[in-house]
A and B are shown apart, each in its own frame.
Chain A
Amino acid sequence: MGLVIGPIVAAVVGAVLAGGASFALISSQTAVPPTVDAPYVVYGSTN
């Protein structure tokens, strides 16, 4: 019994956790980040 339930639980948990990953059903696309010149408040700096 335990040998069966364990994988089932793992599968259910994995399925829910992978819910977000199931977005892969829809093809993703690459974006080219635009650059702007305006001197406004930025989130932060990687410099």
Chain B
Amino acid sequence: MTLTLAPVCDARAPIARVNPVAKLAAAFAVSVTALVAADWLTPLLLLAALVAVLPFTGIRPAELARRLRWLWSAAAAVVLVNAVFAAEQTGRILIDYGPLEISTGALLGGIAIGLRVCVAATAGVLAFATTDPTDLADALTQQLRAPARFTIGALAALRLLPLLAAEWRQITSARRARGLEGGRNPVRRARLFASTMFALLVGAIRRAGRLAAAMDARGFDSGIPRTHAREQRMRPGDWVVLAGALLVCAAVVAVSVAYGVFEV
């Protein structure tokens, strides 16, 4: 059990320095455009735009591909399922094998849906995996007026996650020492998993209580309006990123419409 939240780029990479709210808004615009369009060209162009932007972000491509590896298989599955179970098979029949029948129309429809999933997921990973959680919390609190109780609380909880992974290993070893292990019996494995989870939870709640007391003792949520050690605000560059994203979305839709394939 490993929990990795390591960003896919250096803290000094261009994309890491973009304001988190600007980045999230840009990713949101791209995702919504892809999800609203029902044709295959719009998401394809958006994906191409994302790929074209990559070299300027400072992201390590190998790291990004590793982070997205589940996505490719998920998107492939989406394509296949939608092609096979399409409401109607239109156009030329490509495969006809007993009950299995796939036509060009259904395949195109499936690809369109798969592409939309790809665009939304890639945009989301680009925004989130290049954002330091602390910066995100700061931006949410300062720019979107999210309550500090929520954002700082989430940050503190995030800090405890790796401890849980270490504790899971300790509990598992401690149980083997007591003569308890799952072995090959699935029922016993499931019961052991549940009881280990319970032990982990008991420890986590105790820890959370101690952390909450420590935060209270340092004056957290004491009714005084907090100040912010790091300022998060939209700088000109951030507006450029956001405007660029909106412009690309508009241009892509315009091309699809001009090409005569745009659908909603």
Q: Do A and B bind each other?
A: no
